[in-house]
Structure 1
Amino acid sequence: MKSFLWLLVGVAIGFAVAHKVNETPKGREFFSTMDRKARDFGEAVTDGYRQREAEIRSAIQGD
Structure 2
Amino acid sequence: MERKTIQEWETHFDTFIMDGDGFPQGTVKNETLFTEEEFVKNTRISTVKMSEKLIKAWEQNSL
| TM-score normalised by length of structure 1 | 0.27
| TM-score normalised by length of structure 2 | 0.27
Larger gyration radius, structure 1 or structure 2: 1
User: More helix by proportion, 1 or 2?
Assistant: 1
User: More strand by proportion, 1 or 2?
Assistant: 2
